[in-house]
Amino acid sequence: MDIVKRFLEYTQFDTQSAEDSATTPSTEKQWKFARFLRDQLEEIGLSDVELDECGYIYATLPANTKKETPTIGFISHYDTSPDCSGADIKPRIVEKYDGGDIILDAEADIITSPAKFPELKAHVGEDIIVTDGHTLLGADDKAGIADIVQAMVYLMEHPEIEHGRIRVGFNPDEEIGLGAHKFNVEKFGCDWAYTMDGGDLGELEFENFNAASAKVEVTGVSVHPGYAKNKMINAIRVASEFIESLPKEEVPECTEGYEGFYHVVGIEGSVERATVSYIIRDHDRERFEQRKRIFQHAAEALCEKYGQQVAVATVKDQYYNMREQIDPVMHVIDIAIKAMEQAGVSPRVQAIRGGTDGAQLSFKGLPCPNIFAGGLNFHGPHEFLPIPNMEKAMKVVVNICKLANDFYE
């Protein structure tokens, strides 16, 4: 089976995760694919294949050399985003893309256009996998799984390529921020690993946001509006005042690159009570801590103004910038860069304006930068996957395995 057929096969499983679930995996439908993937890994000849009680899959490609080599790993997640349907995906290959509009559904007038998605222009002349305009494609991150599995098949079919012990790991619930929570780093047993969960060709990421979630709860005073003067404290209005008190230009829609932000993600309430939910992000740890203090001080200022009617309920750290853990082991990055260059790929080192399982795994003791898997426009019906991207990602995995074989020389 070639890598394209493998990926298309994976898209036929609906593996959407769910934020409101208390189970792991968060949805029963993820189990169906997990069992399929476990069986496939056994069929292709990997050893130590295990599907644990939480839906995490581990497997091994044994070393074929007597040299001393590090044990390295490759990781991808098999859930798809709750943001868009992952059921009944109908992928289609656009052969030798001509650079124009791609009609996904003519009757519904759903079109993927380079005018709106200029990244298409970089893939003129390539075969591209698209959706029918009504679901996501699932390249995030089933392309990553296909990259890894196909690379393992390639290495088994080419025993002349010497390599050390290789571990692969596939997990649920990355899209809801829980992918690394129950990943057993000790069982995985690697010196370092890579998540194959990036986007376009050449992406290599070992910096990400420091992240926190935060909530402000406002307690108001409800009085009949006809007689409310100097008595009522409208919790909704106070909540709005809190939102306005934070730096107005430090929001996602006004920032890029290494610029951090405060992002209001939810507000609910009444005159008596209101809750405002935020996420706080910054690449720099010191600025991140400062942002949390500013958030707290903004709430305290309203407390003083309204008489203890405002309180920060929670400020909870979610993950940290993995660069803190990668800097001491930069050979992990050097190997990935060389592997890309050997595959004819120009590395594009960039910071993630978000998080990754690799960040959490790095802080659990497994240095784990992120490499491109090939897809673009994730989490929606305009998602697409240039086939050459996926093929080159597979070659990068193979090259990393070869290069790690010479690590101790």
Q: Which amino acids are annotated catalytic?
A: 79, 174
Q: What is the DSSP string of 230-299?
A: TT-B-HHHHHHHHHHHS-TT-SGGG--TT--EEEEEEEEE-SSEEEEEEEEEESSHHHHHHHHHHHHHHH
Strand order in the sheet with 210-219: 261-269, 273-282, 210-219, 310-319
Which residues is 16 bridged to in the sheet?
80
Which residues is 282 bridged to in the sheet?
210
Q: End-to-end CA distance of the chain: give it in Å, rounded.
A: 35
What would the two tokens of residue 336 be?
Answer: 């990935």
Cα torsion 118, 123, 128, 131 to 10°: value is -10
What is the distance between the alpha carbons of residues 203 and 351, in angstroms, rounded to a whole number? 10
Question: DSSP E strands: which ranges in 37-109?
Answer: 47-51, 57-61, 72-77, 92-94, 102-105
* Helical packing angle, 235-245 and 285-306, nearest 10°: 140
Q: Is 310 helix (H, G, I), strand (E, B) or coil?
A: strand
Q: What is the DSSP string of 69-83?
A: ---EEEEEE--B-TT
Residue found by looking up tokens 């930068």 in the block: 369
Residues 6 or more apart from 43 whose CB is under 8 A from it? none
What is the distance between the alpha carbons of residues 311 and 298, in angstroms, rounded to a whole number? 10
What is the distance between the alpha carbons of residues 269 and 277, in angstroms, rounded to a whole number? 12
What would the two tokens of residue 313 be?
Answer: 């309920």
What is the distance between the alpha carbons of residues 296 and 309, in angstroms, rounded to a whole number? 14
Would strands 192-198 and 72-77 be described as parallel, antiparallel, or unpaired? parallel
